[in-house]
């Protein structure tokens, strides 16, 4: 029975998001899982063929999705990020792209056996990486900020440049091979490219102005942005194919650097949409491939071409273009290796395969196979190697998940000390030098700024930190901080101290119902915790063993003991919260705040006895 189109749409969404979840659950590269899933349900098992089933809509769906993904990526390109990185990013996006184009074209001609015309078209296209493949890798690998920003900027900026280089190469070929050369087509290409950039800038400024002056209500802002993105892409693309990518990139960068708060507020919503689109598009593209295409990628010429692109063309273009740019050798090695190709390469190559074939270049028929070979091998190789290579080059932030503590006081400083002793990355953020004095004197890493300020977003490196704890004396501020960072860190990783009040009990105000999870006990407020520190309460670690079980620990603990967090054998941290129902097991280490009384001595004696048995 042939599945209906509705069933196929459901299946694509289910497989795409399922692949993302599987990759997250087992720490695998998401783009690899999505590609393999698409191949299984498409050419291998023959369950779906989106290109055939969607008909004329297939190309339009892919194009619109690519436009939205590229816009969302460019919306993160604030020029403030480029402090100290402007030179290498500019060099890689210009000189590096040109070197990669020339070397890639030579490789395509001499190794893959393509004619000069087809080689230069595909050489221009294959300089792209793109946010569809770079963003999932960066999300998984936890690179240090410098290489991560370089790869992100290159992926987004070079995407439209690669497509435009391919169009430019085609127009040059058409001009020189024509029996009656006419330069008007070349002039149209340059004029259309300039127009696309200006049109994208105008769309970005227009949206920004409408938002700032209140001409668009809050509930319509996201729909308006998406409609204008599609308008921006389509209008430019109708004038000249592939200039739409340049237009939406210009629009995104313009909005990103206008400093409009409402655009930042929509960022997480757009990121969620982008993840859904990337998941669906990867499934659709790989499921639409033919079995002949898969088998043909093992042709020795294609494999040789792919290997040279990965191990020679990419590293050479990066090393040559970044001479004197300030990048370290390790950064050059990493950036020179990571260059996975993705959706733009697949979609644009299929377009050029058809028009070049129609123009009489029969060797263009293998472009789809060549592109898929490069996409599949780079996604596979770079997806599985980026984390390992980053660690070897000391460019990874891997390690125990760290915590950002908002608010400096006696309790948070002591909490930070205990986390630091457990080799957990920690930073205390506060906008008062006076309150930060204890942290400074204790050698605890700190950041002097309001955590909600724009400066913090750009100056505080948040990559090592997976948890956020709001522990200021203002319950309403704690709730605001948690609400702000919940989309970024996740609901289970954002905590606030209890707004409990001794006189009135559990607060019935809105601050007790919004924001993150309540830390420790709901009946223990920040004032209570600070008071315990002042009374001499101590942080104590207890490891659960076969001889000393968790039940025994609960039986022997003092009633005043406050469970703080749990350290799993893997190094993972779990903060105590009544909402999380954390149950320690064998090998787990419980860190608690215990009173310095005789009961503590009794527990220590029992613990020592249990461990020595």
What's the CA gap between 608 and 572, in Å, rounded? 25
Residue 601 confidence (pLDDT) above 60: no
Residue 475 confidence (pLDDT) above 80: yes
- CB burial of 560-583 (b: ≥16 within 10 Å; e: otherwise) equals ebbbbbbbeeeeebbbbbeeeeee
Per-residue pLDDT tens over the stretch 54-63: 888 888 888 8
pLDDT-derived band at 276 (thresholds 50, 70, 90) equals confident
Q: What is the pLDDT of residue 99?
A: 93
Instruction: Report the chain's mean pLDDT, rounded to a whole number.
Output: 81
DSSP states along 58-122: HHHHHHHHHHHHHHHHHTT--GGGGTTTHHHHHHIIIIIHHHHHHHHHHHHHHTS---HHHHHHH
Give the whole-number percent of the chain exceeding pLDDT 90: 13
Q: What is the pLDDT of residue 510?
A: 47
- Give the pLDDT mean for 454-483: 78
- CB atoms < 10 A from the CB of 121, how many? 32
- How does DSSP classify residue 266? T
Give how far Cα 41 sits from Cα of 16, 37, 38, 128, 379, Å: 12, 6, 5, 27, 19
Residue 388 confidence (pLDDT) above 60: yes
Per-residue pLDDT tens over the stretch 347-383: 778 778 888 888 788 888 888 888 888 888 888 888 8
- DSSP H/E element including 34: helix 30-39
Give the whole-number percent of the chain exceeding pLDDT 70: 87
- DSSP H/E element including 480: helix 475-489
User: Which token pair is 433?
Assistant: 């030098």
Per-residue pLDDT tens over the stretch 164-183: 888 888 888 877 776 676 67
User: Which token pair is 97?
Assistant: 């792209």
pLDDT-derived band at 424 (thresholds 50, 70, 90) equals confident
Check residues 429 and 1 and name the one with the higher pLDDT. 429
- Give the pLDDT mean for 246-275: 77
Which pTM was predicted?
A: 0.71
Give how far Cα 61 sits from Cα of 49, 66, 327, Å: 14, 9, 39
Centroid of chain to Cα 546: 41
User: Which token pair is 308?
Assistant: 């040279």
- Give the pLDDT mean for 106-131: 87
Per-residue pLDDT tens over the stretch 300-342: 888 999 999 999 999 999 999 999 888 899 999 999 998 888 7
């Amino acid at each position: 029975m042939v599945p209906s189109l509705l069933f196929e749409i459901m299946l694509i969404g289910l497989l795409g998001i399922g692949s993302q979840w599987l990759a997250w659950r087992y720490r695998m590269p998401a783009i690899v899982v999505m590609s393999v899933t698409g191949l299984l349900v498409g050419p291998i098992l023959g369950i779906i063929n989106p290109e055939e089933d969607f008909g004329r809509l297939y190309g339009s769906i892919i194009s619109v999705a690519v436009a939205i993904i590229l816009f969302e990526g460019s919306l993160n390109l604030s020029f403030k990020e480029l402090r100290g990185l402007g030179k290498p990013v500019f060099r890689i996006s210009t000189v590096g792209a040109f070197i990669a184009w020339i070397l890639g074209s030579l490789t395509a001609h001499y190794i893959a056996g393509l004619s000069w015309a087809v080689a230069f078209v595909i050489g221009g296209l294959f300089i792209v990486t793109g946010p569809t493949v770079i963003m999932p890798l960066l999300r998984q690998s936890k690179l240090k900020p410098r290489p991560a920003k370089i790869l992100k900027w290159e992926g987004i900026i070079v995407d439209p440049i690669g497509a435009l280089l391919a169009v430019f190469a085609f127009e040059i070929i058409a001009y020189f091979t024509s029996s009656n050369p006419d330069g008007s087509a070349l002039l149209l290409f340059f004029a259309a490219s300039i127009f696309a950039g200006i049109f994208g800038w105008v769309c970005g400024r227009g949206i920004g102005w409408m938002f700032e002056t209140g001409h668009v209500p809050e509930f319509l802002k996201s729909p308006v942005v998406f409609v204008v993105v599609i308008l921006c892409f389509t209008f430019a693309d109708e004038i000249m194919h592939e200039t739409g990518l340049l237009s939406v990139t210009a629009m995104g960068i313009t909005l990103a650097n206008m400093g409009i708060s409402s655009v930042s507020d929509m960022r997480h919503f757009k990121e969620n949409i982008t993840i859904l689109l990337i998941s669906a598009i990867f499934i659709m593209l790989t499921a639409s491939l033919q079995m002949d295409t898969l088998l043909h990628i093992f042709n020795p010429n294609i494999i040789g071409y792919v290997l040279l692109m990965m191990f020679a063309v990419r590293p050479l273009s990066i090393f040559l273009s970044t001479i004197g740019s300030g990048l370290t050798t390790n950064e050059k090695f990493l950036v020179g290796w990571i260059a996975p190709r993705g959706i733009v390469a697949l979609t644009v190559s299929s377009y050029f395969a058809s028009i070049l074939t129609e123009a009489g270049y029969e060797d263009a028929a293998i472009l789809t196979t060549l592109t898929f070979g490069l996409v599949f091998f780079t996604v596979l190789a770079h997806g599985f190697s980026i984390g390992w290579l980053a660690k070897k080059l000391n460019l990874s932030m891997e390690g125990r998940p760290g915590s950002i503590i908002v608010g400096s006081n006696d309790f948070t400083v002591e909490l930070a000390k205990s986390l630091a002793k457990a080799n957990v990355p920690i930073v205390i953020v506060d906008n008062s030098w006076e309150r930060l004095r204890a942290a400074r004197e204790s050698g605890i890493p700190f950041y002097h700024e309001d955590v909600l300020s724009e400066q913090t977003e750009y100056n505080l490196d948040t990559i090592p930190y997976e948890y956020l704890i709001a522990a200021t004396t203002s319950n309403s501020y704690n709730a605001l901080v948690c609400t702000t960072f919940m989309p970024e860190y996740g609901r289970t990783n954002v905590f606030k101290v209890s707004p409990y009040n001794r006189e009135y009990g559990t607060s019935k105000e809105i601050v007790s119902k919004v924001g993150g999870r309540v830390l420790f006990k709901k009946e223990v407020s920040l004032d209570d915790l600070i008071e315990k520190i002042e009374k001499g309460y101590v942080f104590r670690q207890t490891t659960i063993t076969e001889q000393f079980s968790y039940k025994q620990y609960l039986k022997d603990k003092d009633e005043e003991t406050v469970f703080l967090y749990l350290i799993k054998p893997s190094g993972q941290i779990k903060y105590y919260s009544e909402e999380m129902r954390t149950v320690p097991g064998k090998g787990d280490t419980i860190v608690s705040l215990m009173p310095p009384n005789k009961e503590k001595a009794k527990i220590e004696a029992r613990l020592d006895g249990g461990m020595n048995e």
